[in-house]
A and B are shown apart, each in its own frame.
Chain A
Amino acid sequence: AQSVTQLGSHVSVSEGALVLLRCNYSSSVPPYLFWYVQYPNQGLQLLLKYTSAATLVKGINGFEAEFKKSETSFHLTKPSAHMSDAAEYFCAVSELRDDKIIFGKGTRLHILP
């Protein structure tokens, strides 16, 4: 069965510092992996996705993530945090043979001035 574990329900970084949000997945077959962002009182927006092409995936707003099969990880990074990055971030997985997306519990990112 697929599952996603996000380490840290809250992460705080200073403006301009590196953002690192951790995600580990479990899947019996090659997965599709996603990061979604949810700004306060808004819906879900796809940041980036891995669908078995390049292992380093670049997304919107300067975010990127690297698929590491040996570590079953898909951590999200951004070199320099901006105040506008404050939001909740969800790592998610789905499988080739299935359509439903399984979400992690989410990590709320706080940006300190």
Chain B
Amino acid sequence: DSGVTQTPKHLITATGQRVTLRCSPRSGDLSVYWYQQSLDQGLQFLIQYYNGEERAKGNILERFSAQQFPDLHSELNLSSLELGDSALYFCASSVERGGGNYNEQFFGPGTRLTVL
């Protein structure tokens, strides 16, 4: 158990819908990262937040957005869902923002999103 929690575990929805994935980081961790694992794209970095502010952006679609709240939990919002958005979405957390020292990222169990 990494200490990172993600809810829900599974999510099934229809095309065109909007969903919210939730992540609670390990106690004391200020950085949250979101990754997408799909059959087509493999595992790719989406976005990082540090202490409530966006820190880095990867291959995140404009239909996707994220935020980190004052209690440090994070939400990933996916809208206008398409079949290709079906994937496993991982959240990870680390102590600091990095960019100078190695900070291990601890991964949650993931949320499996199925778009029908």
Contact = CB atoms under 8 A, between A and B. Distances in A.
Interface string B59-95: 0000000000000000000000000000000100010
Contact of A102 (B45, B94, B99, B107): B45
A101 B104 contact: no
Contact of A100 (B42, B58, B109, B110): B58
A98 B109 contact: no
B13 interface: no
A96 interface: yes
Interface in A21-38: 32, 36
A32 B103 CA distance: 10
Contacts of B99: 96-99
A101 B48 CA distance: 11
Contacts, number: 54
Nearest to B31: A99
Interface residues of A, number: 21
Nearest to B100: A96
A36 B42 CA distance: 14
B51 interface: no
B104 A46 contact: yes
A72 B56 CA distance: 26
B115 to A, nearest CB: 19
A99 B43 contact: no
A89 to B, nearest CB: 12
A1 to B, nearest CB: 12
A43 B90 contact: yes
B116 to A, nearest CB: 20
A97 B48 contact: no
Contacts of B25: none
9 contacts: A42-B109, A49-B102, A51-B102, A99-B98, A101-B33, A101-B105, A103-B42, A104-B42, A105-B42
